[in-house]
A and B are shown apart, each in its own frame.
Chain A
Amino acid sequence: MSAAAAIPAPRRRERTKGRAFRWLLLSTIVVSGALLVTLLADVAIDGTTSLSWDFLTSAPSFDPRIAGLYPALMGTVWLMGGCVLFIVPVGVATAVYLEEYADARRWWNRLIEINVQNLAAVPSIVYGILGLAFIVRGPLSLGPVVLAGSLTLGLLVLPVVIITAREAIRAVPPSIREGSLALGATQWQTIWRQVLPSSVPGIATGVILALSRAIGETAPLIVIGAAGYVAFAPSGPDSAFTAVPMQIYLWISESRTGFAELAAAGILVLMAVLLLMNGVAIWLRNKYEGKW
């Protein structure tokens, strides 16, 4: 008996099933891809005429021909800057605690863990209400300023940062910790000098992905009362602000002609920033992945 005959041919039904499943999967990719392309093409057709350097550098106006995105763009930059300053230390510290110190047998540590997972799935408008009640008014009473916006968006994306930072910390092999501790390093020295430096790329990727979620959020900003019309870029963490998605929302709500194109142009700018951020995140991940 030859070797080939020893391996039976696959049954016809099995083969058909396998092929059908493959085509089904492929078609779902095609459908979602086509939707995205159509959407982008539609926006691009509407928006490219309004897109110019002037659009990026001038203030919004009641005249759509001279209206620009500058204050909103700067507002977003301020928001994200504040957001990073808030989420990096808090998120990384939480992740370090949960991964390196917390005893998973204690109920409170498990409670924190479950909460972090659940908070990642809470709708953004809920964070808006939280921000309004505790940051804009209530205990902190900051008013609808840049800092309040940064903190609200920070709270919103903090679970994402914590989860990705934990994964990055967990990816550092235990042998590195053992090696360090066996040399007489303390737990803190081991974390600070070995674990954290090794997990920086993973943490950075998580922070960028978190920011790319925060940058597109509109609902919480509306709830906390971000200004609709702002003619100037924010001058500090305590000034009134608007943000790119807020501005897009306002332009879309405008019924007069000319504003729909501005909204489309704004979307293009936001998409470009988002793609850039995700690109950097993917690049970081690929550059450092599989180091061990």
Chain B
Amino acid sequence: MTSSVIAARDVETRETPLEAVFSLDNVQVCYGDVPAVAGVSFELYKNEITAFIGPSGCGKSTLIRCLNRMTDLIPSASISGSLRYHGIDLYGPGVDPVQVRKRIGMVFQKPNPFPKSIYDNVAFGPRVLGMEGDMDEIVERSLRKAALWDEVRDRLRSNAFGMSGGQQQRLCIARALAIEPDVILMDEPASALDPISTAAIEDLMLELVSQYSIVIVTHNMQQAARVSNRTAFFNVDLDGGRRVGRLVEYADTETIFTNPSDPRTKEYVTGKFG
């Protein structure tokens, strides 16, 4: 095994000790018999933005989808190793993926609003979960948190497809916030957006991190450098002729980008490959 687990170094001296949201120990995800990503061990911390970076095929999207059991949707996918969320084994017996996804929300690469009104998009989650409370209030609060309220307050009943791509993505974030999750997973949330919309999403993440823990997969290294507290670099290993994604280095973002300990990380972040 070429990759080693590098313990996360503290960004700065903290008043409170870091609280792990996810603890992964030797996690491996296979599609059929083929491992996509293997040997991943690290901890993701509360109220931080953790970025997953790495070249295509390194398994970072696969890994983020394990965190809220979206991989369950792929019949051939199987997971081994230990993946704990606040100490609970996410794949343990009796853990219902539907319950997991109520706590761990997800925003996808391409904005995927439902073909419904803006209001109904946000209200969908609370409705299916049977959440108590005034729906108008929930919708307004969620849209405000996603910095979208002022833009859409006059057209809550119009179809979400009429919004711009950036607005649609913020709507998807609002939709995820409406069910009051603990963690928000973002799988390349800005890769389909223009620079201005991207900046809006990044600002939003920086605002949300005080209340939520955020994990983001990104191809854009500047984005990882701008928003994340901690960065995990994944790489593709040739393992007996098979391409397997592995965690190469995990540290606070500044270290990864200025003083990485692994030469492969250095090559990647300086743009030599990938």
Interface hits, B208-242 → A, CB 8 Å: none
- Does B170 belong to the interface (CB within 8 Å)? no
| Residues of chain B with a CB closer than 8 A to A178's CB | 70, 73, 106, 108, 112
Which of B101, B129, B161 has a CB less than 8 Å from the CB of A181? B101
Q: How far is the CA of A103 from the CA of B74 in the complex (A)?
A: 11
Q: Determine, out of A182-190, A204-212, A255-263, the stretch whose residues face the partner at the interface.
A: A182-190
Q: How far is the CA of A216 from the CA of B190 in the complex (A)?
A: 54
| Residues of chain B with a CB closer than 8 A to A185's CB | 98, 124-125, 128-129
Which of B99, B112, B161, B179 has a CB less than 8 Å from the CB of A179? B112
- Does B114 belong to the interface (CB within 8 Å)? yes
A100–chain B nearest beta-carbon distance, Å: 11
Q: How far is the CA of A184 from the CA of B101 in the complex (A)?
A: 5
Contact in complex: A184, B73 (CB < 8 Å): no
Q: How far is the CA of A292 from the CA of B114 in the complex (A)?
A: 10
Q: How far is the CA of A198 from the CA of B113 in the complex (A)?
A: 13
- Does A58 belong to the interface (CB within 8 Å)? no
- Does B115 belong to the interface (CB within 8 Å)? yes
Q: Mark B64-96, 1 if CB is under 8 A from A, else 0.
A: 000010100101000000000000000000000
- Does B110 belong to the interface (CB within 8 Å)? yes
Count of A interface residues, CB-CB < 8 Å:
21
| Residues of chain B with a CB closer than 8 A to A184's CB | 98-99, 101-102, 125, 128-129, 179
The answer to whether residues A182 and B124 also contact, given A175-B110, A194-B114 and a CB cut-off of 8 A, is no
A189–chain B nearest beta-carbon distance, Å: 5
- Does B166 belong to the interface (CB within 8 Å)? no
Kindly name the residue among B114, B125, B179 whose own CB sees the greatest number of chain A CB atoms within 10 A. B114
| Residues of chain B with a CB closer than 8 A to A278's CB | none
The answer to whether residues A182 and B70 also contact, given A105-B75, A189-B128, A193-B128 and a CB cut-off of 8 A, is yes
The answer to whether residues A183 and B176 also contact, given A178-B108, A189-B128, A194-B114 and a CB cut-off of 8 A, is yes
Kindly name the residue among A176, A184, A194, A291 whose own CB sees the greatest number of chain B CB atoms within 10 A. A184
Chain B residue at minimal CB-CB distance from A189: B128
- Does B105 belong to the interface (CB within 8 Å)? yes
Contact in complex: B115, A179 (CB < 8 Å): no
Number of A-B contacts (CB under 8 A): 67
Q: How far is the CA of A177 from the CA of B108 in the complex (A)?
A: 12
Chain B residue at minimal CB-CB distance from A187: B98
- Main secondary structure, interface of B, reads helix
Chain A residue at minimal CB-CB distance from B113: A179
- Does A173 belong to the interface (CB within 8 Å)? yes
| Residues of chain B with a CB closer than 8 A to A175's CB | 108, 110, 112
- Main secondary structure, interface of A, reads helix
| Residues of chain A with a CB closer than 8 A to B73's CB | 177-178, 181
The answer to whether residues A176 and B70 also contact, given A193-B124, A193-B128 and a CB cut-off of 8 A, is no
- Does A180 belong to the interface (CB within 8 Å)? yes
Contact in complex: A183, B105 (CB < 8 Å): yes
B100–chain A nearest beta-carbon distance, Å: 8
Q: How far is the CA of A185 from the CA of B108 in the complex (A)?
A: 16
Which of B75, B99, B101, B161 has a CB less than 8 Å from the CB of A183? B101
- Does B60 belong to the interface (CB within 8 Å)? no
Q: Mark B103-135, 1 if CB is under 8 A from A, else 0.
A: 001101010111100000000110011000000
Chain A residue at minimal CB-CB distance from B172: A179
Kindly name the residue among A176, A177, A180 whose own CB sees the greatest number of chain B CB atoms within 10 A. A180
Contact in complex: B70, A183 (CB < 8 Å): no
Q: How far is the CA of A291 from the CA of B114 in the complex (A)?
A: 11
A175–chain B nearest beta-carbon distance, Å: 4
B262–chain A nearest beta-carbon distance, Å: 33
Q: How far is the CA of A33 from the CA of B212 in the complex (A)?
A: 66
Q: How far is the CA of A153 from the CA of B112 in the complex (A)?
A: 40
The answer to whether residues A182 and B176 also contact, given A105-B75, A193-B124 and a CB cut-off of 8 A, is yes
Q: Mark A158-187, 1 if CB is under 8 A from B, else 0.
A: 000000000000000101111111111110
Chain B residue at minimal CB-CB distance from A174: B73
Contact in complex: A291, B129 (CB < 8 Å): no
The answer to whether residues A182 and B115 also contact, given A175-B110, A189-B128, A193-B128 and a CB cut-off of 8 A, is no
Kindly name the residue among A103, A105, A181, A194 whose own CB sees the greatest number of chain B CB atoms within 10 A. A181
Contact in complex: B179, A180 (CB < 8 Å): no
Q: How far is the CA of A232 from the CA of B179 in the complex (A)?
A: 60
Smallest CB-CB A-B distances: 4 pairs:
A184-B102, A183-B125, A175-B112, A182-B106
Which residues of chain B have a CB within 8 Å of any CB of chain A? 68, 70, 73, 75, 98-99, 101-102, 105-106, 108, 110, 112-115, 124-125, 128-129, 161, 172, 175-176, 179
- A sample of 18 cross-chain residue pairs with beta-carbon separation below 8 angstroms, ordered by A number, consists of A103-B75, A175-B110, A176-B115, A179-B113, A180-B128, A182-B101, A183-B101, A183-B124, A184-B98, A184-B99, A184-B101, A184-B125, A185-B98, A185-B124, A186-B98, A198-B115, A291-B115, A292-B115
Not counting A179-B108, A182-B105, A184-B98, a sample of 6 additional A-B residue pairs whose C-beta atoms are within 8 angstroms of each other reads A176-B115, A179-B113, A181-B73, A182-B70, A183-B176, A184-B179
